[in-house]
A and B are shown apart, each in its own frame.
Chain A
Amino acid sequence: METFRNLLDPFPSQQSTFAANVDAIYYFIFWLSTFFFVIIVALMCYFVVKYRRVEGQEPEKSPSHNTPLEVTWSVVPGILVLGIFWWGFTGYVDMRSPPAETYDINVTGQMWSWQFKYGTGAVDSELHVPVGTPVRLIMQSKDVIHSLFVPAFRVKQDVVPGRYSGLWFEATEVGTFDLFCTEYCGQKHSDMITKVVVHATDEAGVTDEVPQTFDKWLEVASDPLEGGRIPLEQAGEKVIGMFGCLQCHSIDGSKKVGPSFKGHFGQQVQTRDGSVLMDENYIRESILEPNAKIRQGYDPKMPSFKGAMKDEWIDAVIAYIKSIQ
């Protein structure tokens, strides 16, 4: 029974300051609709039984219209939907009015991954935010229209090429939640899924699921090389995670949208119009100008990471690729 009720529960948990209101509006519409629906269906069934045809008997006379009744059942629903509109409208205005002080994160959507850029230069393919803080996302697309959707927060906004779009929210609890692309964007639209990680703002609030405070996470993320304290290859693996490279490249030799990182380093490889030595220069060029020399058998689909991936991070990526050969 418990599972059955869980199955019917229309919402994921409420994880933003908007969620309770959105859910309340939904339930208001739901119960109002159910009320009218039950009346309509009950009457329908009742009439079918009570007024079933009896051979040889014509129906009793009854009026063919009733203007006061018809006006009433036009006006009353009219007033009810006006109420629904008003409540939806005020909720919406709230969602479109970020407070004066927000923590801003830049978002880039591209086929088929997300990049979240923080003030410190940190970049990640997951969205990390501090709990209990108004966060504003400033979003753009590198290619086609995408849409950023976090069901637990009840927020969504299309991410459009050629302009900025925005949304804001305040997360209410520490935890991790799904983030989907929800505007069809081609082949791997349904793989463009990532997570929102809501961090505590002080040590007291950390959990097993999210063990770092936001500030700690940001500090580490801003420097994937960790000041040289970790091996460069390990830093490279982190950078690859931050930029969502594995969405299109494998590390086991298998072909995906892009060529595998494993294999061919140090060898001559075929490109669409010639060949090139697969070395440090080629990797760097592929990151900054991906369409310059495309590998044979692949299409021009890789976006450029110029401006987003710092030089030392490129060094780390190169080190990592060399390490997995």
Chain B
Amino acid sequence: MTSHVMPAHSDSHSSADNYLTAKRGFMSWAVTLDHKRIGVMYLIGTMTAMFIGGFLALLLRAEHLSGSPGFVSHDTYNQLFTLHGAIMVFLFIIPSIPGALGNFILPVMLGAKDVAFPRMNLCSFYLWVFGAIFFVGALLTTGLDTGWTFYTPYSTNTSQTNVVLATLGAFILGFSSIFTGLNFIVTIHTMRPPGMTWFRMPLFLWSLYATAIIQVLATPVLGITLLLLAAERMFGLGIFDPKLGGDPVLYQHFFWFYSHPAVYIMILPGMGIISELISTFSRKAIFGYRFIAFSSMAIALLGFLVWGHHMFASGQSEMVTIIFSALTFSVSIPSAIKVFNWLATMYKGSIVLATPMCYALSFLFLFTIGGLTGLFLGALATDIHLHDTYFVVAHFHYVMMGGTLVAFVGGLFYWWPKMTGKMYNEFWGQISALIVFVAFNLTFFPQFVMGSRGMPRRYYNYLPEFQVYHVLSTIGAFLLGFGLLLAAIVLITSLFKGRKAPANPWGAATLEWQCSSPPPLANFEKTPTVGNPYDMQSVVWDPDTESFVRRGEVPIVPDESEQPAHA
């Protein structure tokens, strides 16, 4: 059942052994082919983007303390929400989990030395950097005021901002995403170790695989769409401009054909993380492994069929509107299955509320609300009322932030000891999770109510009747920013003051916990053979080393003490 992997180097000796210290100097990072270093660079980049995007959000929420003009103008406000959305979507949410955690963990979880194409991996990272530069360029020059969705004809004919620069930035970022997806697909297909069949893969890898399929198939459509947009703006081709015989709604079809699957790129890896967290911290095999694996694939595929649900009021035909509504409900079922399976995993488990688990439970609560509120939007008669109101804003923040971001932070706390070799302060980590949870609800729950009461999106001014909701939401937003800042401080402080991390601080059974923390340059000294990735009982707590170790490597006297109390 379980197999010996490698001598227990775990947590002991010289740091000269690990990937961080093996080579030094700027160039050793700048042209590294090591997936772990690339993952760390992605982590720094996407976290920076997140804090910039978050700062913009705090500015716009501060403006909303009153419904009349505050401290920014109409135009500035329009740019704030555009750049907040564009930076968060393109520079943070889409690339973060695959780029930062996926890059680091995927090969190690597979027992492999690296991804299939290390050079392409580095290329992906630099494409991210160049795309980011274009965006920052747009921000620092004219700004951008089209909304992150760039709807025509406003973006092609009217906006005075540098739309072409920004769309070219997004175009470049698309390639970063495509290459990462390609890399992961090939790695998972060809580099699984002997004994790791598809159904013995950890679920985080299944989620990255499903995500990679979407990245490769959907992103090119966005690329072409953005090129058409730039061409229309520069040359007046008449694809989207009705005065030249074009169709502005066609743009929306092209845009959402990618951007709906994109939201599954955002959430699927997060769900994969949650599967790992809940099983590890319940010390129990994930319940319904196959259904969870299949549901990731189902979400990836069904996600391509529902883009029109962003366009129910756009003027597309009624027939097509009805079909999209029906298909939209189909994609809710695989997500529901996951939630039930995660709950069932906790049943009769042995649960500990370590920081990653706090974030995972937070995810269950917040993602469930996000998913359920999707039902109101999928149903036609209610969507007509709710479309383009704050109800939609609340819905997608619950799933993207309460879902993906919370899962990302949970995963970061979880794999932090592995990536850095340090343990963080557990108490303050838990406090950060609590603050984020409470503040998140305070920020976004009022937005559901004000949305259904009629408050439209992307509004600089608003009628006085909505003010109380805006004030609550703004207070929550600042608290939320503080909570995330606290999480960042907890993690960064651990680099200086944290206790040295053992190989397996949490007692998980996936392969990345069998190499030292941090891992050596080549991850593993010999190719491992594998067992059940969720057999938590294959590792036991060793109080002397304050670590979990594989059963059979530590003398156990007597054996009965490891048996459960009941048969």
Answer yes or no: do A and B interact.
yes
A interface list, Cβ under 8 A from B = 7-12, 18, 21-22, 25-26, 29-30, 33, 36-37, 40-41, 43-44, 47-48, 51-54, 56-66, 69-70, 73-74, 77-78, 81-82, 84-85, 87-96, 111, 143-145, 147, 149, 151-152, 154-158, 160-163, 165, 178, 180-191, 193
Closest chain-B Cβ to A188's Cβ sits at a distance in Å of 6
- In the complex, whether B389 has a CB less than 8 A from a CB of chain A is yes
Q: Are A65 and B313 in contact (CB under 8 A)?
A: no
Are A47 and B343 within 8 A (Cβ)?
Answer: yes
Measured CA separation A178–B465 after assembly (Å):
12
With a cutoff of 8 Å between Cβ atoms, the chain B residues found around residue A47 in the complex are 343, 346-347, 349, 351
Distance A214 CA – B346 CA, assembled complex (angstroms): 64
Which residues of B118-145 have CB atoms within 8 Å of chain A's CB atoms?
145
A53, B388: Cβ atoms under 8 Å? no
The 8 A-B pairs with the shortest beta carbon distances in the complex, nearest first, are A162-B242, A91-B381, A151-B454, A88-B379, A92-B380, A190-B459, A33-B372, A10-B452
Could you jot down 14 A-B contacts, CB within 8 Å?
A11-B453, A12-B453, A41-B364, A44-B365, A58-B564, A59-B350, A73-B337, A88-B381, A92-B321, A144-B153, A160-B248, A162-B242, A180-B454, A190-B458
Binds A, one of B33-41, B287-295, B412-420: B287-295
CB of A195, distance to nearest CB on chain B (Å):
11
Instruction: Tell me whether B205 is interfacial, beta carbon within 8 Å.
Output: no
**Is B361 touching A44 in the complex (CB atoms < 8 A)?**
yes
Residue of A nearest to B342 (CB): A44
Give every chain A residue within 8 A of B18 (Cβ-Cβ).
Answer: none
Q: How far is the CA of A58 from the CA of B375 in the complex (A)?
A: 39
B369 at the interface (CB under 8 A from A): yes
Do A160 and B452 touch (CB < 8 A)?
A: no
Query: CB distance B537 to A58 under 8 Å?
Result: yes
- Taking a contact as CB atoms under 8 Å apart, the answer to whether A187 and B242 are in contact is no
Assembled-state Cα–Cα distance A56/B453 (Å): 54
Chain A residues with CB below 8 A from B27, complex form: none
CB distance from B252 to the nearest CB of A (A): 9
Residues of A within 8 A of B389 (CB): 149, 182
Using known A-B contacts A12-B453, A58-B283, determine if residue A22 contacts B382 with beta carbons closer than 8 Å: yes
- Contact A48–B153 (Cβ < 8 Å): no
312-338 of chain B: CB within 8 A of chain A: 313-315, 318, 321-322, 325-326, 329, 332-333, 336-337
Q: In the assembled complex, which residues on chain A have CB atoms less than 8 Å from the CB atom of B348?
A: 51, 59-60, 62
Judge if B520 is at the interface, Cβ distance under 8 Å.
no
How far is A58 from B352 in the complex, measured between Cα atoms in Å?
12
User: What's the tally of chain B residues with a CB closer than 8 Å to chain A?
Assistant: 97
- Which residues of B lie under 8 Å from residue A8 when comparing CB positions? 449
Point out the residue from B78, B381, B448 that lies within 8 Å of A95, measured CB to CB. B381
CB distance from A55 to the nearest CB of B (A): 8
Which of B153, B351, B562 is in CB contact (< 8 Å) with A58? B562
Is residue B284 contacting chain A, with contact meaning CB distance below 8 A? yes
A60 touches B566 (CB 8 A): yes
Q: Are B381 and A22 in contact (CB under 8 A)?
A: yes
B290 interface neighbour in A65, A69, A178, Cβ under 8 Å: A65
Q: Please state if B343 and A43 are interface contacts (CB–CB under 8 Å).
A: yes
Point out the residue from B341, B385, B454 that lies within 8 Å of A70, measured CB to CB: B341
Check B461–A53 contact: CB distance below 8 A: no
Q: Is the CB of B333 within 8 A of A77?
A: yes
Q: Which of B371-408 contact A (CB under 8 A)?
A: 372-373, 375-376, 378-385, 387-389
Given A58-B564, A59-B348, A193-B463, 13 more pairs with CB closer than 8 A: A8-B449, A18-B381, A41-B368, A44-B346, A47-B346, A53-B350, A59-B564, A73-B336, A81-B375, A88-B382, A95-B381, A184-B78, A188-B74
Q: How far is the CB of B155 from chain A (nearest CB, A)?
A: 9
**In angstroms, how far is the closest chain A Cβ from the Cβ of B186?**
30
Contact of B372 among A37, A74, A89, A151 (CB under 8 A): A37
Contact A180 to B332, CB < 8 A, known contacts A29-B375, A191-B461? no
CB contacts (< 8 Å) of B463 on chain A: these are 178, 193
Q: Is B554 an interface residue (CB 8 A)?
A: no
CA distance A204 to B105 in the complex (A): 75
- Residues from chain A with Cβ under 8 Å of B325 in the complex: 85, 88-89, 92
Q: Which of B153, B289, B350 contacts A145 (CB 8 A)?
A: B153
Tell me the bound Cα distance from A26 to B248 in angstroms: 31
How many whole Å from A243's CB to the nearest CB in chain B? Answer: 21
What residues of chain A lie closer than 8 Å to B170, measured between beta carbons? none
CB distance from A238 to the nearest CB of B (A): 25
Interface residues of B in 24-72 (CB under 8 A from A): none
